[in-house]
Structure 1
Amino acid sequence: MVAILLSIAPIFLLIVLGHGLRRGGIPSVEFWNLNDKLVYWVLFPSLLFFKTSTITLSGDLIEGYAVVILGGFAAAVGFALLSSAVFRLPGPTATSVLQGAARHNTFIALAAAERLFGAEGLAMAALATALLIPVTNIVVVSLMVAMTRGPAAGGIGLARAIARDLARNPLLVSVFAGIAVNLSGVGTIPVLHDVAEILGQAALPVVLLCVGANIRVREMTASVGPALLSIAGKMVVFPAVLVALALWMELSPMAAVVAGLFGAVPTAASGYTLARAMGGDAPLMATIITVQTAVAFVTLPLTVWLLSSLAG
């Protein structure tokens, strides 16, 4: 347990450092805004392309991983929808509970996988990212539209908007490109893979600083109840189902732990922006992101320890 804590601690220290730097105006607020774009459009896509194009893929691995990862995601979505109905939460509040329960901070999961298992773990986490990105975007955005505008909203227009957003999502494009290169059997491409590897090496430390810089403590004005529901969905239901499915599918210990990371990490920081853009409860989303990030300091190493013990 101590070894796990020591391995993961630098991740959270970088997050805290990023938050402190932004609050102190170092180097400037404009820098952090531009840095987000650099990570989103260049550094992180380079990392995902390099890892998905060089990982050893097999049908059994992908099938087992898909069952575990998407099963956990489906359980979290179901919990969010059921709890919102039981407590009769208004549409905007329900969308933030949904985002808090079902979305995941890919950056922290990838960083934790690398810290725990090195390059092999990072490649495994990239595969999980490839499975989750399209499903998460389609399901969450569609449900958010239905919750805020009614079940009849969207239709063909919504489908086109989602398809357009997915087609220009650099993370998704880089994953598909990497898998295409991988399956083509051409191997590593001179210069292209060299550049992608160099840029990818810069992605994780920079992105963790950005995660901390984007935490909005001052905008935590939401009620406690919905925030607790999102925490239960993300930090209890999601990882619990992942653990059960990983054991049922008999994943290797490393694969099981990496899968569990996606349930144990906090929700995506970009959920705040999505809440503002789609009529969700942005203050609640700010509270959920901040509280979950703090809770993950404890739940992430506990989940890793539990999975390591159960999976052998």
Structure 2
Amino acid sequence: MSGFETILTLFLLIGVGYLAKRTILAEHSLAALNSFVFYIAVPALLFLSAYRLPLDSLLQPAYIGAFLLATVITGLLAVLGARWWFPTRSPEQHVMRAVNGTFANFAYMGIPLISALLGERAYGPMICIILVGNLFIIGGAQVLIESMRQQGSGFQALIRTLDRSLLRSPVFLATVAGVGASLLQLPLPAVVSNALEIMAPSAIPVALFCLGAGLQFAALKNCKLEMVWLITVKLVFQPLITLGIFTGFGLTDPNWLLATVLLTALPTGALAHVVALRYDVSEQETSLCVVLSTLLSALTVAVWSGWLL
């Protein structure tokens, strides 16, 4: 499947959710489906990915550091630009702006796209960036939001913040468990392995279905220019900044370079919408950012792919 066909397929799933919400889906069903994605399906996907990933492919600190540096710079660009041009909002909304400008559709779109374009040689870098991106951006966003809502200060407040944002986060726990099981070479019982194999693929369609079900186009009237800025940051500036940092530091391994730049060129990931729903912060803006960036990425990803490959 080509990159263009992959994007259109995912967008079709979003459309199915949008139509279902306005025809057959009950109001309370969306929360239950989002809980399934966040607490069950995505953790199953990440656990299996971490468990199967050779640990030596994770030990690339220079490439991981370059990716994280590019992510931080891009997030600051998204927040500062939005704060300069648009009305000042709460700190929690600034966090979601940074997430919308940096969190790509790593797993849902990245796995089929990178596999199709680069093949097995890029599997290690692809999974590593997916895991690090989920932990750093989604986990970091939860830490920031939880710390803003946390009463008090000091060590105990820090522990409570980490507990609510990471230590209870299914994304964090599943990734750590997968890496730990791989490191200790623990065999998975056939029943457990088969159950995970069944649940993991459901993360992609159900998350996109929920995204479409929660979509409200009426919000576009109030955030049109902000969406233009955040989507431009996501689809243009993030891969460009990533490419510049990799090149500037002499990180030229083609598998890592191509996989990382193409992954950052992907649209805003559906998991950002799950986080926005969980904390009730910028939910409509995030859903629009995900959907509109996904639609536009049919063009921009094709341009990046043609240029790099």
TM-score above 0.5: yes
1:260 match: 262
Moved more, 234-243 or 110-119: 110-119
Query: What is the rounded CA distance, in whole Å, between the counterparts of 1:232 and 1:41 in structure 2?
Result: 31
Aligned residues: 300
1:57 match: 55
1:39 paired to 2:42: no
1:82 match: 80
The one of 26, 29, 41 equivalent to 2:27 is 29
| Offset at residue 12 of structure 1 (A) | 1.3
Query: What is the rounded CA distance, in whole Å, between the counterparts of 1:104 and 1:158 in structure 2?
Result: 31
For 2:16, the aligned partner's letter is: L
Mapped contact 1:80–1:97 kept (Cα < 8 A) = yes
| Offset at residue 112 of structure 1 (A) | 4.1
| Offset at residue 175 of structure 1 (A) | 0.8
Moved more, 16-25 or 58-67: 58-67
| Offset at residue 163 of structure 1 (A) | 0.7
Q: Kindly tell me: are residues 172 and 234 of structure 1, through their superposed partners in 2, closer, same or farther at Cα, counting changes over 3 Å?
A: same
Mapped contact 2:276–2:286 kept (Cα < 8 A) = no
Query: What is the rounded CA distance, in whole Å, between the counterparts of 2:174 and 2:27 in structure 1?
Result: 28
Q: Kindly tell me: are residues 111 and 91 of structure 1, through their superposed partners in 2, closer, same or farther at Cα, counting changes over 3 Å?
A: same
Query: What is the rounded CA distance, in whole Å, between the counterparts of 1:30 and 1:21 in structure 2?
Result: 13
Q: Kindly tell me: are residues 294 and 109 of structure 1, through their superposed partners in 2, closer, same or farther at Cα, counting changes over 3 Å?
A: same
Give the unaligned 5+ runs of structure 1: none
The one of 251, 255, 270 equivalent to 1:249 is 251
Query: What is the rounded CA distance, in whole Å, between the counterparts of 2:44 and 2:22 in structure 1?
Result: 29
Q: Kindly tell me: are residues 30 and 85 of structure 1, through their superposed partners in 2, closer, same or farther at Cα, counting changes over 3 Å?
A: closer
Q: Kindly tell me: are residues 163 and 288 of structure 1, through their superposed partners in 2, closer, same or farther at Cα, counting changes over 3 Å?
A: closer
2:227 match: 227
TM-score normalised by structure 2 residue count: 0.79
1:181 match: 181
Query: What is the rounded CA distance, in whole Å, between the counterparts of 1:33 and 1:286 in structure 2?
Result: 15
Query: What is the rounded CA distance, in whole Å, between the counterparts of 1:88 and 1:10 in structure 2?
Result: 33
Mapped contact 2:45–2:200 kept (Cα < 8 A) = yes
Query: What is the rounded CA distance, in whole Å, between the counterparts of 2:58 and 2:289 in structure 1?
Result: 37
For 2:233, the aligned partner's letter is: G
Mapped contact 1:73–1:238 kept (Cα < 8 A) = yes
1:160 match: 159
| Offset at residue 174 of structure 1 (A) | 0.8
| Offset at residue 275 of structure 1 (A) | 5.9
TM-score normalised by structure 1 residue count: 0.78
Paired-residue identity, %? 15
Mapped contact 1:260–1:307 kept (Cα < 8 A) = yes
Moved more, 96-105 or 4-13: 96-105
| Offset at residue 168 of structure 1 (A) | 0.9
1:8 match: 7
